[in-house]
Amino acid sequence: MASQRKLYDSRLQAALLLLPTFVVLTAFLYYPGLATFRLSLYETLFLGQQTAWNGLGNFVALATSPAYRNSFVLSVVFAAVVVLGTLLVSLLIGYLLFDVGTRSSLYLVAAIWPYALPPAVAAILLSFLLHPNLGIVTHYLELVTPWTLDWFNDGPQALAVLAIIAVWKQLGYNIIFVVAALNNIPQTLTENARLDGVGRLRMLWRVYVPLISPTLLFLVVMNTIYAFFSTFPLVDLLTSGGPSGWTNLLIFKLYRDAFEFSNLGSASAQSVVLFVLVAVLMYVQIRVTDGYAQYGA
Amino acid sequence: MADIQLRDLTKRYTDDVLAVDGIDLRIHDGEFLVLVGPSGCGKSTTLRTIAGLEDATDGTIEIGDSVVNDVSPKNREIAMVFQNYALYPHMTAAENMSFGMRSVSDFSAEEIERRVADAAETLGIEELLERKPKELSGGERQRVAIGRALVREPQVFLLDEPLSNLDAKLRVQMRAELLKLHRQLETTTVYVTHDQTEAMTLGDRVAVLNDGQLQQVASPQELYDFPENRFVAEFIGEPAMNVLPVELRATGHGLTAAHEGFTVELPGTTDRAALGADDRTVSFGVRPEDIALASSLPDGAATFTAEVTVTEPLGEQLLLHCRVGSAEIQVKVEPRSQVAVGESVTLGFDRERLHLFAADTGETLYHSARPKADPNGRAEQSHEPASSEGLAPEAEPTG
């Protein structure tokens, strides 16, 4: 190799430079990961001080538990709504931001703002705004719609509210990417469509969406991870899994099983299931959409 | 088919940026008009304003008999071809060509199919219809882009530097194809380019723009022989016309232009007032090919000496950079002339091809040949030394 360059003086120096990263990854990723896999095969007592080999017993128990199956189905439905809802809404808002002629950066900042809010702060604020009795949003919604809003007691309503909040929280992240991707499309394509008289929505679905499909695929994957893992604070602060288990998402259930009910073995098994579920979903998403995604011209 | 009339067309982006500054231009029905100028001269903006992609700040645009300032682009019956082709990368060539028509409800499926097939046949791209842009070469992409314009069956074609992304050889080939296509369709065409060779070879008439203002509109040859100002003189022609400061001196039978390195009689002149030259000092223009080595001039021709500083063999001609006094001029001579760098050469001007421009405004004061109205734009050399009409301060373009 002609271009081989020496970036370090000795192997020892190279190893030393790699060490911090390696230590952090091992301590906080690889070791806990492996420990979780190991724990998922044991029955545990008191935060894991006493363990007993259980084989696949934890997984069998999960598969036969109605509460877990309920949580599993809820999570998948919730994730599907959040992933698609986020993508759809951010695509429409992103398109408006891309299309608007004046003050677009002002609108962009406004649209991204929710993403800058810490999830816990957002959850607390929204719990006031959407409070069934005291919330200003709920009050006016009830005035203009025939519904009675009581998501403290109504399970489906609680899940819907949670999904809407989860979508809203993730919009900013999606919009940044959508607007950036749209701005990368050569302007002459848009101008040519104007000369042809192509309608804006038709242009969005037939031209822009195919052209930004690599970005959309990326967002689907990121939103999937978000919907399964990062919605914990919203559930914890807004509904705590209730009413009657309607918002008991997998990530929340396994936290409670581990740290409230001290059932580390079962919680580890749930972690493994969640990990495998998301990994499989991402693999399928990438395989399925890769054939459609347009990379470059 | 339609003609286009621009009246006082002005496009102002901000208070500081005046892209198009009051252009009056009539583009005749079926004409191939080229807008040419350096980058930033407003030629693309003018085209985009005709297309409706930009709104005119002032003035009117007429296509056919109607003012179209407030007509949306899709209703102007125009089609545009872009420099970067602007093809939809995820659609096949056929889909690209039909997407616009399928997006409006005015056309039946058979009609769309017929038009795509017709356009493909005209352009010889039948084999490429099922391919996507990334499977096409640059020239093929540009053909598809032109095909997309054809299927609209427009009144006017607008082309914005359509050949600039192609390599040199392909550009020459596509140029010829565009001309052939235009002869076949006879659709009014406005073509924007920064390349003066393209402008000269393609245009029935060429409009030269600079700083948003129209400098001259004329047939290519007339533009070359009788530029209306110094900008046009220097912009058209490669290498550019030599322009030197000279002093006008009266002699018994006319004027001479005196430079520190040479003095040349200006045939057909009488006095400075008749030229309209306020100043004694004016700009003297002569093209490199209108200067020759004394050996190839007739006997008795006035000559001067110059020192060769650089020689550039162009193949079909030899380009000399020469020092005359303190000025540098370029001279095109016979390709196999024996001339060495540092050598002194004796040169003479072609007396029929001299130009004078006002030193301040750059307006043309004098051509030693007189423009003749001619439908092909080929101005004849009609200068007769005795005639007092040898000067032509306002060479009026005719087309």
For A264, the domain range is: 65-290
What string of DSSP letters covers A218-238? HHHHHHHHHHHHTTHHHHHHH
Min Cα separation A79/chain B (Å): 30
- How many domains is chain A partitioned into structurally? 1
Cβ of B87 under 8 Å from any chain A Cβ? yes
Min Cα separation A97/chain B (Å): 20
The reply to whether A52 falls in a domain is no
Cβ of A293 under 8 Å from any chain B Cβ? no
The tokens for B373 are 């109205």
* CATH 2.40.50.140 location in chain B: 232-367
The reply to whether A21 falls in a domain is no
Query: Please, what is the average pLDDT of chain B?
Result: 86
Cβ of A188 under 8 Å from any chain B Cβ? yes
Cα A2 to the chain's mean position, in Å?
45
For B275-294, what is each residue's pLDDT tens digit? 777 778 899 999 999 999 88
CATH architecture under which domain B232-367 falls:
Beta Barrel (2.40)
B-chain residues near A207 (CB < 8 A): 88, 90
B-chain residues near A186 (CB < 8 A): 84, 86
For B235-263, what is each residue's pLDDT tens digit? 998 899 999 999 988 887 788 899 988 88
Residue range B15-41: mean pLDDT, rounded = 91
CATH number, domain of A245, equals 1.10.3720.10
CATH architecture under which domain B4-225 falls:
3-Layer(aba) Sandwich (3.40)
Min Cα separation A291/chain B (Å): 12
pTM for this entry? 0.79
Rama region for B264: left / alpha / beta (φ>0; ψ in -120 to 50; rest):
beta
Question: Is A294 within 8 Å of B89 when comparing Cβ atoms?
Answer: yes
- Angle at the Cα of B247 from the Cα atoms of B242 and B249, rounded to 5 degrees: 130
Q: Rounded to an integer, what distance in angstroms lies between the CA atom of residue B386 and that of residue B270?
A: 10
Question: Is B79 within 8 Å of A210 when comparing Cβ atoms?
Answer: no
- Report yes or no: A255 and A237 within 8 Å, Cβ to Cβ: no
Strands B78-81 and B156-160: parallel
For B297-344, what is each residue's pLDDT tens digit? 877 778 899 999 999 998 889 999 999 988 999 999 988 888 889 999
Complex ipTM: 0.77
Question: Is A195 within 8 Å of B133 when comparing Cβ atoms?
Answer: no
Q: Which chain A residue lies closest to B102 (C-alpha atoms)?
A: A198
Question: Is A211 within 8 Å of B90 when comparing Cβ atoms?
Answer: yes
What 3-state class would DSSP assign to A270?
Answer: helix
Q: Which chain B residue lies closest to A292 (C-alpha atoms)?
A: B90
B-chain residues near A199 (CB < 8 A): 103
Min Cα separation B87/chain A (Å): 7
Question: Is B82 within 8 Å of A188 when comparing Cβ atoms?
Answer: yes
**Count of A–B CB contacts within 8 Å?**
67
For B41-94, what is each residue's pLDDT tens digit? 999 999 999 999 999 999 999 998 889 999 999 889 899 999 888 999 989 999
pLDDT of A23 > 90? The answer is yes
